[in-house]
Chains A and B, each alone.
Chain A
Amino acid sequence: METIVFFYFASVIVVTAALVVGLRSPVFSALALLVMFFHVAGLFVTLHAEFLAVIQILVYAGAILVLYLFVVMLLNLKGEVRFHHQLTVGLFLGCMVFAEAVLLVVKGDTSSLGQNFSPSREPAQLMQGNTESIGELLYSTYLFPFEIASLILLVAMVGAVILTKKGILEAKS
């Protein structure tokens, strides 16, 4: 059963990822990416990461993709030449990277990973919800990176405002 669910999610993820790259219109690419985000969230649920599944839908589908669609509509893009002239080189490099990943997985021994550790994780997962455990970890071990993340968001916010504000870039150029 779990295998069937995994293959459903995996096949939809791969097909929609290919559509994101292959479709001509940026709006359709963004919508294909939306479908992919939902299926990645489903994959997270099967991996017992419920908190991240919800965050994935909220942040990616709810915020990031809406921002993309907003910009696409703002710019009013026309149809244009789809692929770069380095198409063959790009495809070749992508195949090489994928072959490398497959080689690493096949050569490395990952088959023992699930068996060794799964008994120890069951009690902790059952005692506490996923969100509580992540929150405890986030506010104890990873407190400093958490603060840095808030700083990154602040910098991004200020940077986005300054970049899109009229008059600053034009005055210099």
Chain B
Amino acid sequence: MDVPVSYYLILSGIVFSIGLVGVLIRRNIIIILLSIELMLNATNINFVAFSSYLGNLSGQVFVFFALTVAAAEVAVGLAIIIALYRHSASTNIDDFRLLKW
């Protein structure tokens, strides 16, 4: 173990921040979903790094569950995008203000 665990934490912090910025600044809903995938991957890196450094496999099992939830999220999210596109022929986040007062 040459690489200290803090390097992995910093890396996952960078990726998570990029994902957060992507959610906040992009207009396209598909890119926003991709940014959410970035954030999920950042947490996965964290889980696996800690699992490896602590010698405990539970972290890897949690990554497995995170993968399951990510797959479910993508399926439902893309279905919502298709339904929205059918509704107003756009994927721009600013066009959807149905639930905004």
Contacts and interface: CB of A to CB of B under 8 A. Distances in A.
Do A and B interact with each other, yes or no? yes
Interface of A: 1-3, 6, 10, 13-14, 17-18, 20-21, 26, 29-30, 33, 36-37, 40, 43-44, 47-49, 51-52, 55-56, 59-60, 63-64, 67-68, 71-72, 74-75, 77, 80-84, 86-87, 89-91, 93-95, 97-98, 101-102, 105-106, 110-111, 113-114, 117-118, 120-121, 124, 130, 133-134, 137-138, 141-142, 145, 149, 152-153, 155-157, 159-161, 163-164, 166, 169, 173
Contact of B34 (A18, A33, A49, A84): A33
A83 B76 contact: no
25 contacts: A6-B3, A13-B11, A17-B18, A20-B31, A21-B38, A40-B45, A43-B45, A51-B60, A68-B78, A75-B30, A75-B81, A80-B27, A87-B25, A93-B21, A97-B17, A101-B10, A110-B4, A113-B5, A118-B1, A137-B57, A138-B61, A141-B61, A163-B83, A164-B79, A166-B86
Nearest to A26: B30
Given A40-B45, A64-B37, A152-B69, A89 B28 contact: no
Interface in B64-101: 64-65, 67-76, 78-83, 85-87, 91-94
The prevalent SS among residues of B at the interface is helix
Contacts of A95: 17
